[in-house]
């Protein structure tokens, strides 16, 4: 059949438009929320890198204002199996390549031997902190190279380009010795005034069957805040016989919340419960929380708990994540307990929290979590995917709405399970970029060694952000509070410098830098260093 030139033009335009529609929708289908982001890792959506040693295991990660990624964890400092382990940092460009402008070829290896200390692998922090000026601080447990065997808190400071920060501690390193106990660091948080909180588990050297929540505070120069916090810079809290913290967060009022699991030694082998403690700015238990500042509760409707990260939400609620069992014969699965600001359980998601099954052969556990800009939970951790090999794991990410219902727009029924390497892939950290993409990191096993592995997933469009000019949350915009704070932020002010002298209205719901920053980050998509 022949067509006139005019008809052929029309048909050609229709064909081109149809082809464009098919191509567009093919891209959309292939880049659904939860899929690998092909713009990361040379088109694969994932990368495997060495952190600088022989055996590498990332534990934490943060996204930076310039969209780069800062990853930290353990690395074996040398090519031999007998090489010592050190703490390592690596910075990645937005596309997943190492950032050569950081440290040496993108990597930094801390040197605690400079202060006669040896890092202790167990009890490692989930997070590092980044000060307003870009400096980096991390903390871990360490032991003297010779002499005392007690575990202490060790901190190290680095500049934004990965050089040792000589203004921090003594030549970049600082230690805190809490006599009479082994201190196992688990997490860190940064206050709006630049002071650093460290959460830890303290085990008395005279009785290893007991353990306590411990929280310490340090100045930005590495000195312990012994004058204004806790009892000489640290506060020890007993919750039942054995208390094992796993996450630390700062709530909208600037109070520190330490969460984890606890159990009684009598009777023996009692089940673990979710537990938490909240502290005032002076480092004392906040008696308006729970019972005398503490709470315990059954976990996830199940029989046992192994807790993970803690999230302090913008609405004042507190979420404690981890893994729980429905019964003694079932595998561990993702679970969460949510608390109201007064420490009582939020019954919106159940009196004992919620448990979500992953469908993996041997279950899953949450090792890292985030709250998305549109108010959803992002859970991440390893899924045990083999019924015959208990060590075989893949990266597992789940997205849950605030009411506890799975976000079915993400992956398959709200979750994805992605193999990254060839055998064991242990996901340990999750972060989000400013455009809503999801970055996950962990250790992937090769030939008897681990390498750092990262993947970036499509997050999909944020469905809701409550961004407005009303920074203090009183329902109005005023030049003397909202306008003044905005102008200061535009001029580079952060922390107390952004709010000093501001006369907040009595009806304001955000009256400190922590809550205002969280609002701007989660609801307005701003990149603001802590």
Look up residue 165 and give its two tokens: 């920060």
**How many residues in the chain?**
530
Asked which of 408, 425, 457 is the last residue of a domain, the reply is 457
Least confident of 25-39, 204-218, 270-284, 466-480: 25-39
Q: Which residues of 99-131 are buried (b: 16+ CB within 10 A; e: fewer)?
A: beebbeebbbbbbbeebebbbbeebbbbbbbbb
Average the pLDDT over 151-159 and give the result.
94
Domain annotation covers residue 125:
yes
Predicted local distance difference test score (pLDDT) of residue 124: 62
Same domain membership, residue 448 and residue 491: no
- Averaged pLDDT score across all residues of the chain: 86
CATH of the domain at 53: 2.130.10.10
Average the pLDDT over 346-371 and give the result.
88
- Is the pTM for the entire model greater than 0.85? no
Predicted local distance difference test score (pLDDT) of residue 463: 53
Q: Which residues form the domain of 269?
A: 46-457
Element (H, E) at 136: strand 136-144
Euclidean distance between the first and the last CA atom of the chain, given in angstroms as a whole number? 69
Average the pLDDT over 167-176 and give the result.
94
Distance, in Å, from the CA atom of 455 to the CA atom of 437, rounded to the nearest integer, reads: 10
Burial class (CB in 10 A: 0-12, 13-18, 19+), 266: exposed
Predicted local distance difference test score (pLDDT) of residue 447: 66
Characterize the bridge pairing of strands 450-457 and 56-63.
unpaired
Whether the predicted pLDDT of 427 surpasses 50: yes
Reduced to 3 states, what is the DSSP secondary structure of residue 307?
A: strand
Same domain membership, residue 514 and residue 417: no
Same domain membership, residue 431 and residue 507: no
Predicted local distance difference test score (pLDDT) of residue 125: 65
**What are the phi and psi torsion angles at 138 (to 5°)?**
-135, 160
Domain annotation covers residue 10:
no
Res. 265 pLDDT band, cuts 50 70 90: confident
Whether the predicted pLDDT of 14 surpasses 80: no
Which residues touch 39 (CB under 8 Å, ≥6 apart)? 95, 456
Look up residue 120 and give its two tokens: 């202790």
Asked which of 398, 424, 457 is the last residue of a domain, the reply is 457
Domain annotation covers residue 37:
no
Same domain membership, residue 124 and residue 172: yes
Question: Are the C-beta atoms of residues 188 and 196 closer than 8 Å to each other?
Answer: yes
Predicted local distance difference test score (pLDDT) of residue 28: 37
Same domain membership, residue 505 and residue 407: no
Distance, in Å, from the CA atom of 310 to the CA atom of 372, rounded to the nearest integer, reads: 14
Same domain membership, residue 222 and residue 95: yes
Same domain membership, residue 407 and residue 502: no
Domain annotation covers residue 67:
yes
Give residue-wise pLDDT tens across range 495-518.
888 999 999 988 788 888 888 887
Average the pLDDT over 409-429 and give the result.
92
How many domains would you assign to the chain?
A: 2
Domain annotation covers residue 19:
no
Q: Who has greater pLDDT, 396 or 470?
A: 396
Give residue-wise pLDDT tens across range 114-138.
888 888 876 566 778 999 889 999 9
Domain annotation covers residue 33:
no
Domain annotation covers residue 191:
yes
Distance, in Å, from the CA atom of 529 to the CA atom of 498, rounded to the nearest integer, reads: 13
Listed residue (309, 363, 314) closest to 336, CA to CA: 309
Reduced to 3 states, what is the DSSP secondary structure of residue 10?
A: helix
Which residues touch 324 (CB under 8 Å, ≥6 apart)? 299, 300, 301, 302, 303, 304, 305, 306, 332, 333, 335, 353, 355
Domain annotation covers residue 464:
no
Whether the predicted pLDDT of 72 surpasses 60: yes
Same domain membership, residue 485 and residue 437: no
Predicted local distance difference test score (pLDDT) of residue 4: 43
Same domain membership, residue 367 and residue 311: yes
Predicted local distance difference test score (pLDDT) of residue 19: 34
Look up residue 311 and give its two tokens: 């999230």
Listed residue (28, 25, 71, 20) closest to 455, CA to CA: 71
Same domain membership, residue 233 and residue 132: yes
Could you tell me what percent of the chain has a pLDDT over 90?
Answer: 54
Give residue-wise pLDDT tens across range 28-38.
345 799 999 99
Distance, in Å, from the CA atom of 179 to the CA atom of 198, rounded to the nearest integer, reads: 17
Res. 9 pLDDT band, cuts 50 70 90: very low
Same domain membership, residue 513 and residue 391: no
Whether the predicted pLDDT of 3 surpasses 60: no
Same domain membership, residue 344 and residue 433: yes
What single-letter DSSP state applies at residue 409? T
Give the Cβ contact number of residue 524 at 10 Å: 15
Give residue-wise pLDDT tens across range 74-97.
888 777 777 788 888 999 999 999
Least confident of 44-58, 203-217, 326-340: 44-58
Q: Quote the distance between the C-alpha of residue 526 and its chain's center.
A: 18
The label of the residue with tokens 């069992």 reads 325
């Amino acid at each position: 059949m022949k067509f006139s030139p005019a008809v052929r033009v029309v048909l050609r335009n229709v064909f081109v438009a149809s082809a464009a529609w098919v191509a567009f929708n093919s891209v959309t289908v292939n880049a659904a929320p939860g899929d690998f982001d092909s713009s990361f890792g040379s088109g694969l959506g994932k990368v495997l890198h060495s952190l600088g040693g022989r055996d590498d295991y990332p534990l934490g990660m943060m996204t930076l204002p310039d969209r780069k990624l800062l990853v930290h964890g353990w690395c074996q400092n040398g090519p031999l199996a007998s090489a010592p382990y050190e703490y390592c940092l690596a910075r990645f460009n937005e596309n997943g390549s190492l950032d050569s402008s950081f440290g040496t070829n993108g990597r930094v290896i801390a040197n605690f031997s400079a202060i006669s200390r040896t890092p202790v692998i167990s009890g490692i922090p989930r997070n590092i902190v980044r000060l307003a000026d870009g400096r980096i601080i991390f903390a871990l447990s360490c032991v003297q190279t010779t002499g005392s065997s007690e575990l202490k808190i060790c901190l190290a400071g680095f500049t934004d380009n990965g050089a040792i920060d000589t203004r921090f501690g003594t030549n970049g390193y600082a230690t805190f010795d809490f006599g009479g106990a082994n201190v196992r660091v688990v997490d860190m948080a940064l206050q709006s005034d630049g002071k650093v909180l460290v959460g830890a588990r303290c085990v008395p050297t005279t009785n290893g069957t007991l353990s306590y929540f411990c929280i310490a505070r340090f100045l930005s120069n590495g000195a312990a805040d012994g004058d204004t916090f806790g009892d000489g810079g640290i506060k020890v809290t007993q919750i039942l016989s054995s208390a094992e913290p796993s996450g630390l967060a700062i709530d909208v009022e600037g109070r520190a919340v330490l969460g984890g699991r606890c159990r009684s030694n009598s009777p023996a082998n009692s089940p673990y419960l979710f537990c938490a403690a909240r502290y005032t700015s002076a480092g004392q238990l906040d008696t308006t929380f729970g019972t005398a500042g503490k709470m315990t509760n059954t976990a996830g409707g199940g029989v046992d708990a192994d807790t993970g990260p803690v999230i302090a939400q913008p609405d004042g609620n507190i979420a404690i994540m981890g893994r729980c069992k429905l019964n003694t014969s079932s595998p561990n699965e993702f679970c969460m307990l949510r608390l109201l600001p007064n420490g009582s359980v939020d019954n919106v998601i159940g009196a004992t929290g919620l448990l979500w099954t992953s469908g993996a052969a041997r279950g899953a556990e949450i090792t890292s979590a985030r709250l998305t800009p549109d108010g959803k939970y992002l859970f991440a951790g390893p899924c045990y995917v083999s019924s015959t090999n208990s060590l075989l794991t893949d990266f597992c990410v789940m997205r849950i709405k605030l009411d506890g219902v799975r976000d079915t727009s993400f992956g398959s029924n709200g979750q994805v399970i992605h193999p990254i390497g060839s055998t064991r892939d242990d996901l340990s950290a999750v972060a989000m970029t400013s455009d809503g993409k999801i970055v996950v990191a962990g250790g992937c096993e090769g030939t008897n060694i681990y390498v750092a592995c990262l993947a970036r997933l499509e997050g999909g469009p944020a469905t809701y952000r409550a961004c407005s000019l009303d920074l203090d949350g009183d329902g109005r915009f005023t030049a003397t509070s909202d306008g003044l704070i905005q102008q200061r932020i535009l001029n580079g002010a952060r922390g107390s410098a952004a709010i000093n002298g501001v006369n907040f209205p009595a009806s304001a719901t955000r009256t400190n830098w922590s809550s205002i920053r969280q609002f701007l980050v989660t609801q307005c998509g701003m990149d603001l260093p802590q």
